[in-house]
Structures are given as structure tokens and as C-alpha cells.
Amino acid sequence: MTLSKEVIAQLAEHVENAELNKKAITKITDDYPDMDWEDAYAIQYAIRKRKQDRGTLIAGLKMGLTSHAKMKQMGVETPVFGFLTDYGSYADGAEIDTSNFIHPRIEGEVAVMTNKTLKGPGCHIGSVLAAIDFVMPAIEIIDSRYENFRFDLKSVIADNTSAAGYVTGSNMKRIEELDLPTLGVVLEKNGEIVELGAGAAVLGHPAASVAMLANMLAERGEEISAGTFIMTGGITAAVAVEKGDNINMRCQDIGSVSMRFV
């Protein structure tokens, strides 16, 4: 840690206010170039605590920057994790108020629900497959609180990995009915295909992303408890959306998930 408790608290308030006021800020590493990974996650956890203290429930966890499409798009190479809030949850087919966001983008993902505790270090695909109850197609809405969606890893970790919302499909499949690496997804905006990919884009296997999450949490003495909803990370690059856009993602063998920005 290089930052004092006071600075961590100040930065948490600053970054969270950007979300609450929907006003972009400059990335925090511009002012604190020496901040380290621990500082970055400390700011994220302080934001999480601020929300919980106001009554927000943590609805799940997310991995980010787990695919080459995303790493390339954002110019970074290490996966990161964040949390999902109750107020970020939207139902399949939802009309989403675009004014809730600064400059929203959407990503096609695979989401899973666990039914056993997952604990690192040494968590691997095998333990994850044995702990996944079911799989759902999901779209994440990301909205960096930084100007022009430009950031480095430490800034984006502090900003809860740009998490802003998520829409889950209405259907699910048992894990044993699917081959996650070859699971295809097609993302459409206003009826046109804008991105496509397969589960293997996510660290070779979306379950590997969950294993990595368990191992990253283990470094903090934490685990993934049974019954956790997890977004495993964008399969495709993120797509900018604006008011009036209709989004639909078709996911092989599971069904589709859609939403409309109003």
C-alpha cells in the first residue's frame, strides 16, 4: 500500500460520486501515479462498503478483461474482478434509462450460479465445474467513470471494473448440458450483428475465469460462497450504446437476452 487510509477514503468518495452524479472524472492514477494494486482494490472495497452502508446489496461478482478482445480493446493484459449491485440488475427485455449512465457499453458474457464454496489457492476448472449449478447468457453494461473510457488497470480496479449493470437471460442450462468453450454467442445492435464469439474467448474456458476469481480472492483471505452469481467476463469487445438502441444476444443452446435503451 502506498496510500494512506484518508486518501483511500477520499478517492472512494470521488470515484463513487462520479458514478452517482454521472459525471466523468480524470483517471485517478494521473494524481496518484505511485498507487499500487492493493491501493486500487482498497478503493474498490471502500466504494463497496459505502454502498452497503446505504443499504445496497451485493448481488454477485464479476471478472473483467478475461478475453483477448477486451484486453486488446482496453490496452491492458491482466484480468480484474469487481462486484455487482442489486440496483444494477435488469430483467430480460428491460427498457433501460440511458441517462443512468455516462457513456455505456455492453458486453456479451456467460454468467454462472454456484452451489458450493470455491476457495483458492489452487482452485481449478474441475472444482469450478463441480460447483456450478447452472449457466445463463448475460449482457453486462459497463460505464467507466473515467473520461473517454480511458484508464489503466489500477484506475479501473478502483472504479469497480466499470461495472454499471447486467441483464440476465430468461433461460438457463445445467452445466453438464453445455460445452462452455464452444458455446457461441452472437450480439446484435438494432438487428445488425456487431460482435460474435465463443466461450473459449474467456481464458480458454469461462470456468477458468471463475477459478481465477477464487484464487484472486484467496490472496485477500476471501472465498466465493455457495449461491454466488458470477459474470465471467466479456467474450466480445464492448459495444457503445445510446438512447434508442435495441440489443439482442443469442446464445447457442440457451436462448437470447435482450434490452432496449430508452
Q: Summarize as ranges the residues that interact with ligand OOG (CB under 6 A).
A: 64-66, 70, 74, 107, 140, 142, 144, 156, 161-162, 233-234, 238
Shortest distance, CB of residue 47 to Mg ion, whole angstroms? 17
Q: Nearer to Mg ion by C-beta: 120 or 234?
A: 234
Task: Specify whether the CB–CB gap between 231 and 169 falls below 8 A.
Answer: no
Q: Which is nearer to ligand OOG, 111 or 214 (CB)?
A: 111
Among the candidate windows 80-88, 175-183, 186-194, 233-241, which touches Mg ion by CB under 5 A? 233-241
Closest CB to ligand OOG among residues 113, 156: 156
What's the rounded Cα separation, in Å, for the pair 180 and 120?
A: 22
End-to-end Cα distance, the chain = 42
Binding partner of 74, given ligand OOG, Mg ion, none, CB within 5-8 angstroms per partner class: ligand OOG
Site for Mg ion in 83-112 (CB under 5 A): 107
**In the set 19, 92, 140, 188, which binds Mg ion (CB under 5 A)?**
140
DSSP-based helix, strand, coil % in the chain, nearest 5: 35, 30, 35
**Is the Cβ of residue 35 or residue 164 nearer to ligand OOG in the bound state?**
164
Amino acid at 147: E
211 contacts: CB under 8 Å, gap ≥ 6:
118, 120, 123, 124, 125, 127, 128
The CA-CA-CA angle for residues 87, 90, 95, to 5°, reads 115
Partner in contact with 213, chosen from ligand OOG, Mg ion, none, beta carbon below 5 to 8 Å by kind? none
- Separation CA 126–CA 108 (nearest Å): 24
Which residues sit at the interface with Mg ion, rule CB under 5 A? 64, 107, 140, 234
